[in-house]
Structure formats: structure tokens, C-alpha cells
A and B are shown apart, each in its own frame.
Chain A
Amino acid sequence: MKTESKLEKILAAGHLAVTSECGPPRGALPDQVREKAAYLKGVVDAINVTDNQTAMVRMSSLAASTIIKQEGLNPVLQVVSRDRNRLAIQADIIGAYALGIDTMLCLSGDHTKFGDHPMAMNVHDIDSMQMIQMVRDMRDKEIFQGGAKLKGAPKMFIGAAANPFADPFELRVLRLEKKINAGVDFIQTQCIFNVEKFERWMEGVRARGLHKKCYILAGVTPCKSLGAARYMSNRVPGMDVPKDIIERMSSVPKEKQADEGVDICIETIKRLKKVEGVAGFHIMAIEWEEKVEEICERAGLLPRPQI
């Protein structure tokens, strides 16, 4: 065991892990964080806390993670390389660990163009790959990125994202391998709607034995409505929502679409459970945290193991 992370313990014990996410509020509203977290208590093993997601300013991931930790849950601190340079990122990692946060996710982040500060500078002093390397070196070699010795190394369980649906497809397995070589411990994938394409990606992953070198959590999202499905299909870069999902959503009346979205999500989880190499699920119920319990229950992911 590399860390004290509950997520690591669950995965190492061979359980299917379940994570979900919580987007911090756009204001100093700590109770909103607590509310969202309350929906997930006892339902998931860890909660991703997004870092200025979609390049919109929100309560910092570190602050919201701390609140979640205080509530007795396990946050996954998301960190994007878009907003901070390597000094700030390392400082936050040490600070997070000092506050009891032991799991994190290294990301590049959406481009500022998509957010509410398109005029801001994109930092990208390091990329997500280099961030993984940096955190691993802080943990295992006890050194800062600049090379100096570090006292009180942050023992982070290191995660990263993978998108099996982006192009070029043939590079997607190699890119995962690169992240593994950089030191990643677990992966959360982009939302899977195109299960067939995900299975093809996993074939490539297994062919190189990568599923044995890191834990892969399959990302799923329940569509709240036909509009949401269409939006993800057309407007979110790197999302693959096949036509049959859209058709299925549009085949039911508007008031039933949310239920249909949840059904699709549960069916997807059940199908993905059979895919060799899937170590768990990352359920991204965006602004719909209250649905996660039902999804987990019906997908047979409850109760959560006690470690």
C-alpha cells in the first residue's frame, strides 16, 4: 500500500470502487458543499471535488475538499494545470495532505475559452503527465519538482483522467501507458455512453497489461433530459454520445426522460461490470448528486465495503 487513501484500500482489496463528484459552489456557500456531500455519504468511497470546472470560478477544490473531509467523507482533490504553476500546485498538495486529504486527480483542465473568464491566461507551466510525475516524486522520492528535499512528504494516491473517445483513438492506450509510467495509481475515464468503443479501448489496455498496472474506474453519467444528452453529444469536446442513446431519450415523454437517463446509466454499469479490467465506477451526476444513491442501489453497488 502506497498511501492511507480509502480508495486505494478498497481497490487493493479487490472491491469494485465507487466514486462520484461534487462541483463546489460559485460563492462562499459551505453549506452547499455539505448538502451535496450528504447525498453521497455511505453511497460512494470517495468524492471528486472539481477544480474550477469548465473554467468557471468556484470555491477552491482544496477548501471544498476540506469541508467534505470534515464531514467524514473522502475527497479526491482535483487539480488542473491551467490555473497554477508548479509552485502553487505543490504548495496546495502539501497543504491538502496536511489537512488529511490523501487522494488527488491530476488534470490539464478545460481551456479558459469555455468558461466565464475567457480573457484569462492559461498557465500550463506543466501538463497533467508532468503533474503526475511531480506528485509521485514528492511522495516516493520525497523531493520537490525543482529537486530539493522535502520533509513531510504528501502520501497522495494519484489519479488521472483518460478519454477513450477522443482522437486519435490509437494513441489513447499509449497515452494511458504514458500516465502509468509517469506514476499514476488510478484512472477515471470520460463518461461512457459508447460502451462498444470503450470495450475496444479496454482490449488495447489489456493487450498491454495496463489494467494490472493501475486501477481503471469507468466513468458514467445519467442524462437528466434529452436536451442534456444532445448538449453532451454536440457541445462537449471529446464526448461520444451515440445516436441510439439520443433516440432512446427522445422516445419517452419529457417527464420520463430523467428516469430513462438513470435506467441507461444503470444498464451501462451492469454491462461494464463484465469488462475485464474495470476496477470500479466514477459516477458523474452533475448537479444531480441526489440520484447517485439510487443508481448505486439498483446497479448492485451497495452497500459499500467497510475497510
Chain B
Amino acid sequence: MKKFEPVIVAFCCHYCAYTAADMAGSQRLPYPANVKIIRVPCSGKVDALHIIKAFENGADGVYVAGCLEGDCHFKNGNEKAARRIDYVKKYLEEIGIESERLTMVTMSAGMGYRFAQTATEITEKIRKLGPSPIKTAITQ
């Protein structure tokens, strides 16, 4: 069997995580190529539908990366995102997808190392979980 390479979708806030990803790049910090970054203006902009669609289209894991607590460029978008993630996690369980496949993380723009570390950790976690049950169902 071919080795499982998870597909991870990372919704990254333009003001923190996306810049941190840049930082990681310029510091030549490696992180897994499994992570597909989607830049969003704020983590609070990530809709439940975006997350669900990612899973429907075969993502094995999704994470939303927003600013540190109290640092949201739009006041409290990151808090809203965190609440939304909790809500979508429940929906995932209803559908039959392990809710651990969805995570909310926070970081600042300067945390290049944290970005790379987070990307690696989440990729490894999903690798252990195996392919998403939806992906498995699609390929069968």
C-alpha cells in the first residue's frame, strides 16, 4: 500500500499566521508540504461552510490559525473563530468525522518557528489518525 500522506488545509489569518508562515520561509524553517495554506483576512472570516467543504473535498485535517488572544486586528475575530470551531467539531462528530481533525491555533506574526512547529505537529497527528473517513469513502 502506498504510504499515507495527509492533506491538511490551514486557514491562516493575514495578520498573524500567514505572516508567520512567511517568516518561517525566510528563516528556512522546514514544515511539511502536506499543509495547504489559504490566506484569510481574519480567522473570524472562516465560515463553517469553508471547513465542511474542505473535508467534503478530501482534506484529512483542517486547522484555523488566528492571532493571539487579545491581538485580533478586528477586535475579536479570533474568539469568534474559536467558538465556531467548537460548533463545527460537534457537527463533524454528527457526520462521523473525528473532531480531532479540526483544530484552532493562535500565534503572532513573528512566530515563524511556532508556525513550522504547529504545521509539523498537526500533520503528524493527522498522519496517526489515518485518512479521513470521507476520503476513504470517496476512493472506495
Whether A and B touch (Cβ < 8 Å) is answered with no
Binding site for A on B (CB under 8 A): none
Taking Cβ atoms with an 8 Å cutoff, the residues of A that contact B are none
